[in-house]
Every structure is written in structure tokens, then in C-alpha cells.
């Protein structure tokens, strides 16, 4: 959804990058283009104005970090401010100390409430909760059916009482949840084509009766700036706690995601990216910012790494790196882990500044297998202490792995450089991050 914006901003930064130092007028020119790019992406005018003012001020006022070029500094500032604009924290559901937690989904007709009630239920179920879906949209029998269908897909119980007063349904559902041990209750309410008094009255009545822990507004990203206006209106009339932005998979310009928090003061907590129940994730401001800036989905990469690496593995590895005892046995383990993350190409594509360029890149997937074969052909002792690998051993390893002695030499050389590098890093860096974040 942010492809266009990302391209435009990249273009602006590229122009900056080609120079050594930035003058005030460079910053001014760049900011003019940043403003245009954001406006074209459907970010609200006032938000753009404030954003550009903030960024310009910081660009001019702040000292350039010695580790960055002035242009990189601008990118960093824009990145920081984009994150701040969308909310610095990864917002979570407000879980009460005493269950059940009631989440009331509301929004206009067709925004994606029913679909996302089920997606959210599935997501929370995976987190260890026992959600209950409640059919409060009683105006069409088909709406109740739809919830039953998606509820079944999600493997979540659906509570329905047919077409009776939704206030009664929601209070009955609360009792049911308590009786049957559901710790989360998700109310799928009715929507209308436009915001009107009747809709708000009904929602207000449900709100007053069940006192939801979280009123979550579902807005359709495809409606662009209107999504932000809807959020503002719902918040003023009903009071909302958070926003769920649906249909981010559409080729919308996506700028609405940038404006929601600034305009309503309410964070986006989740995003939907398709009709399938799994096309759903928590909203990560920092990830969105790096996607907008074309910095690659580094965090996704980190998460993938976490998913294949267990906590104890990660801790062991960190310890080894800190003690400088990382050897070829560990390298072999690491190669196997990386393999589990997917093809080399898919991993590289997630690195900053790579993205789609990987398509034209000549990535040698076989290189992996060759290295693995060479290490496997070494004895445990050789892997632990590569310095003992003499010419005779090299020949044996080459023969055993179907490679040449030069290949073995190259691997040993690369490994030595890697060890050097790890020493310089003080055994920290990314791997430490894996260990800390691993579950
Ligand atoms: P409700 O009226 O607010 O309950 O909206 P629904 O959940 O019934 O969704 C309306 C339509 O939008 C349905 O056809 C859904 O399949 C579709 N839809 C919902 N969420 C998404 C999404 O994230 N991406 C896409 N592409 N379609 C969606
Ligand atoms: Mg619905």
C-alpha cells in the first residue's frame, strides 16, 4: 500500500545522499518534496504540515551524528518522526485484571467488522485466550450467518440469539462468557452506510450496558482520508479506544494510517491485509515507517529468525559470541537455522535497501549447500579449531564435500574474517537482539 510513497521519498533521499554536506536550502528542497509525497499518499493536510515543520526544525537544529552522513541523518529524523506520528509503542489490547475482557467492534457497513472480529478472535485464541464472538448485528439474518461461518473457520464459539435487541444479546453474552469460561468477548455490532444518530444510539446503549474494555473502530483503508474522518466522528460521538485498519492489501495509498493517531489521538492496534483470517497482524509503527522509507523489513527478518531459533539456542549463541568461542560447529548450526527461514533470496530481500532489487540479483543458493557440505566433511575437532586444518586435511575435506581445495581455503578465510568481525563487535550486535527478543 505504501509502494508509491516509498518510491517518492527514496527519490528525495537519493538526491540528498549524493552530496557531502547539507545546506539549509537542501533541507528545504527535500522537505518540499516530502510534503508533496505525503499529500499525494492521502495524508491529511494538517498532519503533513506539522510533520514537515517538525522534521525541518530537527534537521536544521540537530547536530549531525558522527556515524551518519548529513543525508542519512535526515532519513533517520524522518524515520523517527514517522514512528512518533503513528505511535511509539506497540499498542496492545487493554486486558482487565478481572475477565472477561469485552471488545466492541464498531464501524461503518462493509468496513470489515465481522471479518476482523473473527481474525481478532483467532489471533487471541493463538495467544492462549478463550474468545467468544457475539452476533449483535441483527438487522439481516445473513449477518448472523456470516459471523457463524467465520467463527467456525477461526475455531471460536459464536453466541447468537437471532434478531432481538442487541443490548439484550450483549448482556446475555456476558453471562454466557462467565458461565463457560470465556475470558474475551468480542461484539460484532451493526454498521450503517453513514454515521447517523440511530447507529450511535444503539452503540451507546451497548456501551453503557456492558462497559467494554476496548471499543475498537474498524476503518477501511481504501476510503483514504475518509477513514480518518470516520474515526474522528466515532470518537467524538461514542468514544473509541483504538482503530483497526482493514484492507491495507488494496492498492490504496495508505496515508490514512499515518493520520489516524495525529487526528484522533487513538492508536491503530491492528491491520487487516486480506479476506483470509490469517491476513492480520498487530500494527507496528516502526515497521510501517521503515516500509514507507524503503528501509526493508528488518524487523520481520528478526522475527523470522526468532521463530526458528529457540530461546536457549539464542542464549547459547550470545554467550559464545561474547566469549569469542563461536566455531564452525556453531556456524553449521547457524546455516541450518537460516535455511529454515527460507531461501537466501527471500532473506536478502528483507534487508534494508534491497527489496525488489533481489529479483535481478544473482543469488547463489548452492553456495549454502557447498559450505554446509564442507563443514560437514570436517571432524568435530577441526570445526572447533580450524587452525589445525593443514593442507592434507584440506584435501580430505575438499574430496569429501565434492569441492576444491580453493573452496576450502576461501571458507576458512571467510570464517577467520567473521571471527575478527565478531570480536570487534564485542560479541553483540544483532545476535544479542535475537536473544533478548526471543520467546
Ligand atoms: P462489516 O460489514 O463491517 O461486517 O464488513 P465485513 O467483515 O462483512 O467485510 C466486508 C467485505 O470486505 C467482505 O467482502 C470482506 O471479505 C471484505 N474484507 C474485509 N476485510 C478485508 C481486508 O482486510 N482485505 C480485503 N481485501 N477485503 C476485506
Ligand atoms: Mg458485519
User: What's the confidence (pLDDT) of residue 351?
Assistant: 60
Render pLDDT for 235-294 as a digit per residue (tens, 0 to 9): 999 999 999 999 988 767 678 889 999 999 999 999 999 999 999 999 989 878 877 776
The ligand 1 atom nearest the CA atom of 273: 23
**Same domain flag for 130 and 276:** yes
Beta bridge partners of residue 344, listed in sequence order:
none
**Same domain flag for 18 and 108:** no
**Number of domains present in the structure of the chain:** 3
* Residue 352 CA, distance from chain mean position: 15
**Same domain flag for 202 and 230:** yes
Q: Which of 54, 86, 118 is the last residue of a domain?
A: 86
**Same domain flag for 73 and 114:** no
The ligand 1 atom nearest the CA atom of 108: 3
**Same domain flag for 285 and 336:** no
**Same domain flag for 245 and 106:** yes
**Same domain flag for 272 and 403:** no
Indicate whether 95 belongs to any domain. no
Which residue, judged by its Cα, is nearest atom 10 of ligand 1? 110
Indicate whether 313 belongs to any domain. yes
CA 46 – CA 206 distance, rounded (Å): 34
**Same domain flag for 350 and 419:** yes
Pocket (CB within 6 angstroms of ligand 1): 107, 109-115, 191, 246-247, 249-250, 272-275
The ligand 1 atom nearest the CA atom of 137: 4
Render pLDDT for 277-336 as a digit per residue (tens, 0 to 9): 999 999 989 878 877 776 555 445 555 555 666 666 766 766 776 677 778 888 888 777
In the structure grid, which three cell numbers stand for residue 33, read together? 518534496
Q: How far is the CA of 112 from the centre of ligand 2 (A)?
A: 7
**Closest C-alpha among 92, 86, 81 to residue 269:** 92
Q: Which of 28, 57, 86 is the last residue of a domain?
A: 86
**Same domain flag for 53 and 173:** no
Does the annotation place 151 within a ligand binding site? no
User: What's the confidence (pLDDT) of residue 301?
Assistant: 56
Q: How far is the CA of 109 from the centre of ligand 1 (A)?
A: 9
Query: What is the ipTM metric for this complex?
Result: 0.99
Does the annotation place 252 within a ligand binding site? no
Does the annotation place 249 within a ligand binding site? yes
**Same domain flag for 266 and 342:** no
Q: Quickly list DSSP for 57-70.
A: HHHHHSPPPTTS-H
Indicate whether 276 belongs to any domain. yes
Q: Which residue range(s) make up the domain with 413?
A: 299-437
| pLDDT(180) > 70 | yes
**Same domain flag for 116 and 254:** yes
Amino acid at each position: 500500500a505504501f509502494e508509491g510513497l516509498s518510491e517518492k521519498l527514496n527519490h528525495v533521499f537519493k538526491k540528498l545522499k549524493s552530496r557531502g554536506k547539507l545546506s539549509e536550502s537542501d533541507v528545504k528542497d527535500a522537505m518540499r518534496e516530502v510534503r508533496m509525497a505525503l499529500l499525494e499518499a492521502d495524508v491529511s493536510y494538517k498532519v503533513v504540515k506539522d510533520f514537515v515543520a517538525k522534521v525541518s526544525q530537527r534537521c536544521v537544529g540537530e547536530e549531525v551524528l558522527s556515524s551518519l552522513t548529513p543525508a542519512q541523518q535526515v532519513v533517520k529524523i524522518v524515520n523517527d518522526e514517522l514512528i512518533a506520528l503513528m505511535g511509539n509503542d506497540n499498542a496492545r489490547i487493554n486486558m482487565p485484571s478481572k475477565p472477561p475482557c469485552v471488545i466492541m467492534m464498531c464501524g461503518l457497513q462493509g468496513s470489515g467488522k465481522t471479518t476482523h472480529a473473527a481474525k481478532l478472535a483467532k489471533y487471541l485464541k493463538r495467544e492462549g485466550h478463550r474468545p467468544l464472538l457475539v452476533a449483535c448485528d441483527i438487522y439481516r439474518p445473513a449477518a448472523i450467518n456470516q459471523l457463524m461461518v467465520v467463527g467456525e473457520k477461526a475455531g471460536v464459539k459464536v453466541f447468537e440469539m437471532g434478531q432481538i435487541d442487541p443490548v439484550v444479546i450483549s448482556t446475555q453474552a456476558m453471562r454466557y462468557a462467565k458461565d463457560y469460561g470465556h475470558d474475551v468477548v468480542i461484539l460484532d455490532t451493526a454498521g450503517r452506510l453513514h454515521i447517523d444518530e440511530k447507529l450511535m444510539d444503539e452503540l451507546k446503549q451497548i456501551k453503557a450496558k456492558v462497559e467494554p474494555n476496548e471499543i475498537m473502530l474498524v476503518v477501511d483503508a481504501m476510503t483514504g482520508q475518509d477513514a480518518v474522518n470516520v474515526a474522528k466522528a466515532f470518537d467524538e460521538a461514542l468514544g473509541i479506544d483504538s482503530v483497526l485498519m482493514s484492507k491495507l492489501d488494496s492498492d490504496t495509498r495508505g496515508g490514512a494510517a499515518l493520520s489516524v493517531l495525529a487526528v484522533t489521538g487513538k492508536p491503530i492496534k491492528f491491520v487487516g491485509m486480506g479476506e483470509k483470517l490469517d491476513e492480520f497482524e498487530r500494527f507496528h509503527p516502526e515497521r510501517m515507517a521503515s516500509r514507507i522509507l524503503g528501509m526493508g523489513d528488518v524487523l520481520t527478518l528478526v522475527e523470522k529468525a526468532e521463530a526458528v531459533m529457540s530461546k536457549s539456542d539464542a542464549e547459547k549463541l550470545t554467550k559464545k559470541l561474547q566469549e569469542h568461542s563461536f566455531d564452525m560447529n556453531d556456524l553449521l548450526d547457524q546455516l541450518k537455522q537460516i535455511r529454515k527461514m527460507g531461501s537466501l533470496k527471500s532473506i536478502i530481500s528483507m534487508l534494508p535497501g534491497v527489496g525488489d532489487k533481489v529479483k535481478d540479483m544473482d543469488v547463489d543458493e548452492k553456495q549454502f549447500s557447498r559450505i554446509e557440505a564442507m563443514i560437514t566433511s570436517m571432524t568435530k575437532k577441526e570445526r572447533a579449531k580450524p587452525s589445525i586444518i593443514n593442507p592434507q586435511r584440506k584435501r580430505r575435506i575438499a574430496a569429501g564435500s565434492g569441492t576444491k581445495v580453493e573452496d576450502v581455503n576461501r571458507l576458512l578465510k571467510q570464517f577467520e574474517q567473521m571471527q575478527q568481525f565478531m570480536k570487534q563487535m564485542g560479541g553483540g550486535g544483532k545476535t544479542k537482539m535475537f536473544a533478548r527478543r526471543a520467546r
